[in-house]
């Protein structure tokens, strides 16, 4: 797995992460991912084979594990607990998503593939989350509770003032899933700054990507419908290879009775109007005139207006890499607008890849420039030339497919600023 940075501060973040992994390797922490190669703008680490648990109707019911399985689980538990302890002792937290990110090496040992939430933090809540993550990937959710009851130093000090633990879905979603702008599968590190609390640090404006709630478990692909799965997998290949950020893989919603696509500014303007109404409402009283004070109008305009895109190439890189990670399932961060046809398309591809392992296929952004920008409406249009590297897909039956690299294609992106992030409203191939 290759991790890259494209800014000075991003390179510092990647370097700190690499130094942590090297230090863990030197201290013989078995579950820490091994650094395989150091590059000028990042590094390459081992990934292993992602461990997933099947939940279909043909999956075997849960039973008491045999002696061999108990031995493997005990080894995995020991290795992961040692890793978490070593990470915490160095002032970091793993921050992996519950039940996800565990990988297995060829020798049967385990490692961590998901480092999207790795960050410097020492809060007790974040450390407990790491312990709960170990329990979730080993399917022993009450292990941490037993540890807290039975362990000599497990209780939280009364003087710590720790509030009740919240679900990750209750936390602020303004930051992206990954730390300081680093994304998995060829991460793009932005100029992020650390913020206190358990949520990852957001990227600076205008290149922050909002973390959306991951859709709940669903079954878009019926069990046994191989033709349906192949269709969606082929669609995913088209999206990833032929038209990475748009094109035929992303439907463009037309107006009623018109073949022209719906402009992104209509949605952005509606969002801006809503922000204006909500901003001025607290200052309104019965008997007031229809005109708002100049201060209220300025605040509403600031909410609606998007920031200047100083570096369109960096923004294009982050959109491409974040979307790649989202559709193959290594990240929960969606770059498409809520409720758009693009989001529906991406979710269908993501579901098709839910039990398919994708190796490689990282996007390459060759150029990007701004076609137009409406600062007061919070919209922008980018022209992006991109391609996708060769990759391999391994299906649930173990069948491997080699997908060749794609040639460069140009896509025009219509973006909308929603107050915290740029989202893709539409994408049109040139």
Residues 126-183 have pLDDT tens digits of 898 899 899 888 876 545 444 443 444 433 333 333 333 333 333 333 333 333 334 4
Mean pLDDT, the chain, as a whole number? 67
pLDDT above 80 for 123? yes
Query: What integer pLDDT is reported at residue 255 of this predicted model?
Result: 30
Distances (CA, A) of 146 to 88, 103, 135, 143, 149: 20, 25, 11, 5, 5
Asked if pLDDT for residue 87 goes beyond 60, the answer is yes
The predicted structure's pLDDT at residue 2: 87
What tens digit of pLDDT does each residue of 57-82 get?
A: 444 445 555 666 677 788 889 999 99
Closest CA to 113 of 47, 49, 20, 24: 47
Return d(Cα 51, Cα 49) in angstroms, integer. 6
Instruction: Report the range of poorest mean pLDDT among 60-64, 101-105, 189-193, 404-408.
Output: 189-193
CA atoms of 347 and 352, how far apart (whole Å): 9
Q: Which residues lie below 8 Å from residue 346, measured CB to CB, with a gap of 6+?
A: 239, 323, 326, 327, 334, 336
pLDDT bin (cut points 50, 70, 90) of residue 53 is low
pLDDT, tens only, 279-311: 333 344 444 434 444 444 454 455 556 788 889
Contact yes or no for 334/346 (Cβ under 8 A): yes
Residue 206, exposed/middle/buried by CB under 10 A (0-12, 13-18, 19+)? buried
Cis? peptide before 206, omega within 30° of 0? yes
Over range 191-209, report the average pLDDT. 41
Contacts of 232 (CB under 8 A, 6+ apart): 220, 221, 348, 349, 351, 352
Q: Which helix or strand (DSSP H or E) is residue 421 part of?
A: none
CA atoms in the 13 A half-sphere facing the CB of 187: 32
Measured between alpha carbons, how far is residue 56 from residues 65, 318, 403 in Å? 19, 34, 28
Which of 264-273, 314-323, 330-339 tops mean pLDDT? 314-323
- Confidence band for 326, pLDDT divided at 50, 70 and 90: confident
Band of the pLDDT at 368, cuts 50, 70, 90? very high
Task: Quote the pLDDT of residue 49.
Answer: 86
- Assign 196 a pLDDT band (cuts: 50, 70, 90): very low
Domains of the chain: 2-189 (no CATH), 226-260+305-429 (3.10.450)
pLDDT given for residue 274 in this prediction: 36
Q: Is the pLDDT of residue 232 over 60?
A: no
């Amino acid at each position: 797995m290759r991790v890259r940075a494209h800014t000075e501060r991003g390179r510092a973040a990647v370097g700190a992460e690499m130094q942590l992994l090297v230090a863990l390797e030197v201290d013989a922490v078995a579950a820490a991912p091994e650094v395989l190669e150091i590059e000028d703008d990042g590094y390459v680490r081992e990934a292993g084979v992602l461990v997933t648990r099947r939940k279909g109707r043909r999956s075997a019911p849960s039973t008491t594990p045999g002696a061999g399985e108990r031995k493997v689980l005990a080894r995995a538990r020991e290795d992961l607990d040692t890793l978490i302890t070593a990470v915490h002792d160095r002032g970091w937290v793993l921050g992996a998503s519950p039940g996800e990110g565990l990988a297995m090496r060829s020798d049967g040992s385990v490692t961590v593939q998901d480092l999207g939430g790795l960050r410097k933090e020492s809060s007790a809540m974040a450390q407990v989350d790491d312990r709960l993550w170990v329990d979730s990937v080993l399917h022993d959710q009450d292990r941490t509770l037993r540890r807290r009851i039975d362990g000599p130093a497990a209780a939280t000090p009364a003087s710590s003032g720790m509030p009740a633990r919240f679900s990750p879905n209750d936390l602020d979603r303004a930051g992206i899933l990954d730390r300081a702008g680093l994304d998995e599968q060829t991460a793009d590190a932005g100029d992020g700054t650390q913020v206190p609390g358990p949520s990852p640090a957001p990227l600076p404006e205008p290149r922050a990507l909002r973390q959306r709630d991951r859709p709940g478990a669903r079954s878009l692909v019926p069990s046994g419908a191989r033709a349906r799965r192949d269709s969606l997998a082929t669609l995913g290949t088209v999206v990833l290879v032929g038209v990475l950020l748009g094109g035929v893989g992303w439907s463009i919603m037309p107006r009623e009775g018109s073949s022209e696509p719906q402009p992104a500014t209509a949605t952005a303007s509606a969002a801006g109007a809503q922000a204006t109404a909500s901003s001025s409402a607290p200052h309104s009283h019965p008997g007031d005139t229809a005109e708002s004070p100049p201060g209220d109008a300025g605040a509403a305009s600031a909410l609606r207006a998007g920031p200047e895109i100083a570096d369109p190439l960096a923004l294009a890189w982050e959109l491409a890499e974040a979307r790649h990670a989202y559709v193959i399932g290594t990240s929960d961060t969606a770059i498409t607008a809520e409720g758009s046809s693009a989001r529906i398309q991406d979710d269908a591809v993501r579901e098709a890849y839910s039990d398919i392992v994708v190796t490689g296929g990282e996007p390459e952004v060759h150029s990007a420039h701004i076609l137009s920008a409406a600062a007061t409406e919070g919209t922008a249009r980018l022209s992006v030339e991109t391609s996708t590297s060769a990759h391999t897909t391994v299906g649930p039956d173990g069948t491997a497919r080699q997908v060749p690299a794609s040639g460069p294609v140009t896509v025009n992106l219509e973006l909308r600023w929603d107050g915290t992030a740029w989202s893709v409203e539409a994408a049109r191939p040139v």
